[in-house]
Amino acid sequence: MLALAITVLFTLTGIIAAAVIADSLLKARAAYARLMREGDVMRAGLALQAAAVDMQLRPSARTLTPRRHQTARRRTLQACAAA
């Protein structure tokens, strides 16, 4: 009975693994074909139009590191002066 349960478990695991691999292969084949089409369009001198969402500006980078270091120094100096 235990051998039958182990056999069924390994069989189901193998079937599920094969299905996942087949699904990944199909998705990879579709992605590869899409990339090849886009490459052909780029080599032909045509450019794909980007979506409006991709054209948004990035937020400006804020540098807060110097301020943090300056406030840490001030606190240390004040503590030393008070002591």
Per-residue pLDDT tens digits for 43-70: 887 766 666 665 666 666 665 555 555 5
Q: What confidence score (pLDDT) does residue 16 get?
A: 98
Residue 23, in any domain of the structure:
yes
Q: What confidence score (pLDDT) does residue 80 get?
A: 56
Q: How far apart are CA 62 and CA 49, in angstroms?
A: 31
Residue 76, in any domain of the structure:
no
Q: What confidence score (pLDDT) does residue 44 get?
A: 84
Tokens standing for residue 1: 């009975």
Residue 71, in any domain of the structure:
no
Q: Are 48 and 41 in contact (CB under 8 A)?
A: yes
What's the structural domain count of the chain?
1
Q: In b/e form, how buried is each residue of 9-35, taking b as 16+ CB within 10 angstroms?
A: eeeeeeeeeeeeeeeeeeeeeeeeeee
6-44: per-residue pLDDT in tens? 999 999 999 999 999 999 999 999 999 999 998 888 888
Residue 31, in any domain of the structure:
yes
Residue 78, in any domain of the structure:
no
Q: Model-level pTM greater than 0.75? A: no
Residue 56, in any domain of the structure:
no
Residue 33, in any domain of the structure:
yes
Residue 70, in any domain of the structure:
no
| Domain of residue 1, residue span | 1-46
Q: What confidence score (pLDDT) does residue 3 get?
A: 94
